[in-house]
Every structure is written in C-alpha cells, then in structure tokens.
Amino acid sequence: MKSLAIRTLLPFLAWFPLVNRVSLRADFLAGLTGAVIVLPQGVAFATIAGLPPQYGLYTAMVTPIVAALFGSSRHLISGPTTAISIVIFASVSHHATPGTPEFVTLALTLTFLAGVYQLAFGLARLGVLVNFVSHTVVMGFTAGAAILIATSQLQHVLAIPIPRGESFAHTWVDIYHQLDQTNLTVLGIALVTLLTAVVVKRVFPRLPNLLLGLIAGSLTAAVASGSDQGVTFVGQIPAQLPPLSMPDFSVVAVSLKNPEAFAVALLGLIEAVSIARSVATKSHQRIDGNQEFIGQGLSNMVGSFFSSYAGSGSFTRSGINYQAGAQTPMAAIFAAVLLMLVVLLIAPLTAYLPVAAMGGVILLVAYGLIDFRHIAETLTRSRSETAILLVTFFSTLFLELEFAIYLGVLLSLILFLARTSRPDIVTLAPDSHDSRHKFVNVESKPVSECPQLKIIRIDRAIYFGSVNYIQSRLHAITEKENIVHILIDLSRMNYIDMAGAEMLVLENRRLRARGGGLYLCGLKSAVWQFIAEGRYVRAMGPDAFFDHKSHAIAAIFKKLDESICERCSRRIFRECAPVHQV
C-alpha cells in the first residue's frame, strides 16, 4: 500500500532507473525533433485560442515537463492542441476580447479549474470515465472543430474584415458578401505556405514541413513587399522563458468559467488517455488511466501559474516522439528545454512572420484533424454511430462547444443503454445428430425443441434497463407456447443488479404457481456471489440453480408431465429414451 502511494505521488521514480547514457542520447534526439515540430504548432494553436502567439510556446515548455514527471506514459507529449485551443477561444471570447490581458487571465483561470477537475478525477480513481466517451463523439467533435478552425482563419487568408464573435453561419455570410474584396497578395502568401508544407510532407516526410512552410510564406511576403500590399505580421515574440502569472480566483471568475472548465477537462483527458493508449499498443507499455489524469491535472494547474493555457496529449508529437526513438519521458523534458533555447534565439524573427502564413498552416492543421476514412466507415456501417457522429458534428458547428461534447456523450450513452436494454436472447436445443448432443441456436440450425422445457441463453447483463424486455420474453414463452419450465443459460452474462435478481425471483414464483419453474445454470463466480450474498438463492430455492445444462435437464426432466412425454416423438434429451422404452 505504501509503495502504491509513493508511485502515485512520485511516478517518475518508476522509470527514472531506466535512464542511462544510451537512453539519454535517444531521448535527446527525439526531444530535438519535438522542439522543432512544436515551434510552429505552438504559435498556431495560441492563435486559434485567441491568445498572443507566445502563450502557445509557453504551454509547450511547461505542461510537457509536469505531465512527463507525473503521468504514466513514456512517449506521450503534452502541450497545446487544436481541439483544446478552439474550446478555450469559444469559452472565453464571450466574456473578453481575444488577445487582451483580461482574455489571457480568464484563459488561465479556465486552465487552472480544468486541472483541478482532472486531478480530482485521478485521485478518485475515475480513469474509467473516458471509456464512456465513444470514439465517434471525439471524431464528430474534432471534425466540427476543424471546420470552425478553418472558418476562423479565412479572414486572415483572404484579408476580409469579419466582426469578432460572429457565429459560424454569419461568418460564411460575411465572407460571401465580401469575397470580391480579397487581397490577392495575402491569399498568395497563404497558398505558398500551404503548398510548401504539403509538398515537403510528401516528398521529405522527415523534415519539419510546417516550419518550412512558414519560412516560405515569410520569404514570399518579403519578395512581394508585403508591408506595402496590406500584409499584416504576427509581430515579435518576447525572447523570454514563461513568466509567472496569476489566474483570477474571484468568485465571479470561477463561477463564470467553472462549467466550461469541466468540458475542457473532459476533452483533455479523452485526448491524453486515448493517445497514450494508442502509442502504448506499439511500445507494449501498460498505461494507468488514473495516473494520466493526475499528470494532466497537475500540468494544467502548474502551467496556469507560468503563462500556459490548457494543454493535453498531442497525437502528432507523441507519435513522432515514439518514431524518433524516445525511450523514457526524458524526451518530453528535453523537447521542452530545447524549445526554451530555440525561442530565446529566434524569437525576434517572428516579426517577419505574416499572419496569412500562419493562416495557411492552421488550415493544413485543421484538414489533418478530419478522419475521413473512419467517418466514411461510420456513415456506411452503423446508423446509431452515424446519429452520434452527425449530432456531435452539427452541435459543434452551431451550438456552444462544451454543450456539443455533453450532447454527444449523452446521446452515445442513451444509445448504449438502448442496446443493452434489449439483450440477445437465444433459444437453444440439443442437436440429436451430434454424438455429444451439443446445444445449438435453433435459429441457425432447425433442430427440434422440447414441448415442455424451454432453454434460452441471455447474453449481456441483466440489470434495471433490461428487466422489462427479459420479463416480456419470459411471459411470451408461457402464454404463446404454453411452457412453464424455463431454463436460462447465463454462461455469457457477466453482470446482474438487484432489479435483475428480483425479476428472476418473481418469474420463478409465477412459473411455480403454474406448476413449473425458472431454472438457472452456468452462472459465473461474480454473478453467483452476488445472488448468494443477496439471499436470492433462498428466495428461488437451491433446486433452481445448476452448474451445467446437463445437470439441470436431468433434474427438471423428473418434473415434466409424463403423459406428454409418452406421446412426444422428438426425444431430444438423453433422458427421453427410458420413457419411450416403458
């Protein structure tokens, strides 16, 4: 117990002994690659979030270190991400003008509160929460966020003035009416940036394509005398390490940002844990979801005091980190430290970075967010998943972003409960042509059934949501087939609650009142323990429970009407033969 507490509080003690000269060299090279990649991403993501560009870099310096020290993944790289950035912008822009000190303070407050939620979830061992958010919800939200991101950048790519706070639909209306005012020089810079990044990615996949795209865009602006053509520039980023900051802990600010903080926390955890597990399948590492919650929570809480906004796991940077040969979380720490050195050296050069070039990079990032293959598969294979996808997608576009996440999760849970409320109930009968009398599904193979004993198998759980459906099926067997002896095979059922157990007791009493009974076999140990401890065995009677179907049939056969057995020609049970020999 003591060692478990130490691993929870200081998880880096578990991997620190793995650090050696070989691992340090591999981690340093992987970290160098990560620092080069995150440089343009950090600036782009901060722009999406409505923050000054340097805040994206600050986030990429602070959160990876804390998350690496207190998380469980050896390859996860935390920092600014697209989805979190757009939620930050949508949540804070209603209360403050993007880029202003007030906006920054509220973003930091939101970050701290999200971290508190994440830390609390981890300490409460609620790592399983992310399992309730389907991949379809994340896919729909991400696709919608990508469209919103691309829409928000069109004003910078086309140099069309759009009022702040415009909705998705109104933004497109403004673009349509002002399309003839497009600045072709600005558009050209954005296209050069975009095309350069795409070509470099395809021809030289190992090179930092986004960074090279930004360089190409900056050179194009210089050649075209951008300052004289109405081209705006990002401006010089301060050449400094993350300065100390203070979130606003006033009652007004906390109550204002608390609802959005929960959505940011949930989205951040989904991203981080899913990415960590995805990379872990390749590295054969076991991920502790609760420890990841703690690591993400601490990284956001600490980051909010060092000018960092909410971060999470990055799929791109984590995947590249693994491919670059990283062996321990030291790679994430190296990436953050090297980024600090890079910023101190090249920060003045951002004064020559056109906003249009940033827009081109962000358009490419937004395009990469959309999982076209899985979306196409979902639309063609599953109606329920399609409904979840479309509801989440359109909610992201036309409703508040945090509400879109909640709505997608709620709909996925409703559909899940709807599916589990109608468990598969399979009718079984022995195959007389099989020497072992193996039981088969009567729907898959036309075998004879006993006219007095119905054998069914219930797959999935028997709980409050499925009680009514199961009960109606049992009543239908009695009323339509006039069978009062029912044997239920529970070998494929892993869970039963009080409502389910009480329903079985009531059905047993009903059938016994009609001269029959309800019998159960194949119960798994956890289900049997629950039924035994709940005194349901006494309520149903010990003669209602059997280990195997063969034992149950032998006992139930003695209770069947012999006159019916004598006239029956089916003889599907081994016990039937003596009756017919008499």
Dihedral (C-alpha) 145, 146, 152, 156: value to the nearest 10 degrees?
A: 160
Higher pLDDT, 347 or 508: 508
> Which DSSP state fits 307?
T
- Beta-strand (E) ranges in 404-484? 425-430, 439-441, 453-458
The Cα 458–Cα 446 span in angstroms is: 20
Whether the predicted pLDDT of 5 surpasses 60: no
Please compute the mean of the pLDDT values over residues 105-131 and round it to a whole number: 89
pLDDT category, 502, cuts 50, 70, 90?
Answer: very high
- What mean pLDDT do residues 178-196 have? 92
Report which listed range, 100-104, 249-253, 567-571, is most confident: 100-104
User: pLDDT at position 568, please?
Assistant: 87
| Whether pLDDT at 234 is above 50 | yes
Q: Kindly state the tokens that stand for 298.
A: 């601490």
Give one word for 173, left, alpha or beta, with left for phi > 0 and alpha for psi -120 to 50. Answer: alpha
pLDDT value of residue 118: 94
> Which pLDDT band holds residue 138 (cuts at 50, 70, 90)?
confident
We report the CATH number of the domain holding residue 573 as: 3.30.750.24
Provide mean pLDDT across the span 21-42: 87
Token pair of 267 as six digits: 């989205």
> Would you say 326 and 29 are in contact if contact means Cβ atoms under 8 Å apart?
no
Predicted confidence band at 153 (pLDDT cuts at 50, 70, 90)?
confident
Q: Are residues 316 and 214 in the same domain?
A: yes
User: In the chain, what is the greatest distance between 2 CA atoms, to the nearest angstrom?
Assistant: 110
Distance CA 302, CA 305 (A): 6
pLDDT band at 582 (very low <50, low <70, confident <90, very high): very low
**Residue 433 and residue 405 share a domain:** no
180: how many CB neighbours lie within 10 A of its CB?
6
**Residue 485, CA distances (Å) to 133, 478, 516 in order:** 42, 9, 5
3-state secondary structure 96-117: CCCCCHHHHHHHHHHHHHHHHH
Same domain, 364 and 468: no
**What mean pLDDT is predicted for residues 224-250?**
86
- Please indicate, yes or no, whether residues 404 and 483 belong to a single structural domain of this protein: no
Which is nearest to 16 in space by CA: 471, 377, 327, 372? 327
- Residue pLDDT, tens place only, 171-185: 899 998 999 889 999
pTM: 0.71
Pair (42, 151) in one structural domain: yes
Taking 60 as the threshold, does the pLDDT of residue 367 lie above it?
A: yes
User: Rounded to whole angstroms, how far apart are CA atoms 148 and 48?
Assistant: 10
Full residue range of the structural domain in which residue 386 is found:
2-370+378-416
- The C-alpha atoms of residue 268 and residue 546 are separated, in whole angstroms, by 48
pLDDT class for 60, splitting at 50, 70, 90? very high
SS (H, E, C) 2-40: HHHHHHHHCCHHHHHHHCCHHHHHHHHHHHHHHHHHHHH
**Tokens describing residue 488:** 């239920």
Per the model's pLDDT, the better-predicted residue between 357 and 111 turns out to be 111
**pLDDT tens-digit map of 282-305:** 777 877 888 999 999 999 999 999
DSSP collapsed to 3 states, 120-185 = HHHHCCCHHHHHHCCHHHHHHHHHHHHHHHHHHHHHHHHCCCCCCCCCHHHHHHHHHHHHHHCCHH
Distance CA 362, CA 366 (A): 6
DSSP string covering 349-395: GGGG-BHHHHHHHHHHHHHHH--HHHHHHHHHH-HHHHHHHHHHHHH
Last residue of a domain, one of 360, 389, 416: 416
Residue 2 predicted with pLDDT over 60: no
CA atoms within 13 A on the CB side of 74: 22
Residues 475 and 497 in one domain: yes
Instruction: Could you list the beta-strand ranges (E) of 28-93.
Output: 78-79
Shared-domain flag, residues 408 and 436: no
Closest CA to 128 of 271, 7, 273, 261: 273
Whether residues 453 and 305 fall in one domain? no
Same domain? For 284 and 263 the reply is yes
CA 347, CA 52: separation in Å to the nearest integer?
Answer: 13
408 and 511 in a single domain? The answer is no
Q: Do 84 and 203 lie in a common domain?
A: yes
pLDDT at residue 429 is higher than 50: yes
How many angstroms separate the CA atoms of 560 and 550, rounded? Answer: 15
Look at the chain and report how many structural domains it folds into: 2
pLDDT at 281 (0 to 100): 67
Q: CB neighbours (10 Å) of residue 379?
A: 13
Specify the DSSP class assigned to residue 296: H
Question: Above 90 in pLDDT, residue 169?
Answer: no
- Where residue 342 falls among pLDDT bands split at 50, 70, 90? confident
397 and 305 both lie in a single domain? yes
Helix (H) or strand (E) holding 487: strand 485-489
Provide the pLDDT confidence category of residue 413 given band limits of 50, 70 and 90: confident
Reported confidence tier of residue 457, pLDDT bands at 50, 70, 90: very high
Mean pLDDT value across residues 145-171: 84
In 3-state terms, what secondary structure has residue 485? strand
Structure tokens at 519: 């019998």
- 499 vs 148, which has greater pLDDT? 499
pLDDT of 339: 93
Helix (H), strand (E), coil (C) string for 233-286: ECCCCCCCCCCCCCCCCCHHHHHHHHHHHHHHHHHHHHHHHHHHHHHHHHHCCC
Q: Which of 177-186, 201-210, 489-498 has the lowest mean pLDDT?
A: 201-210
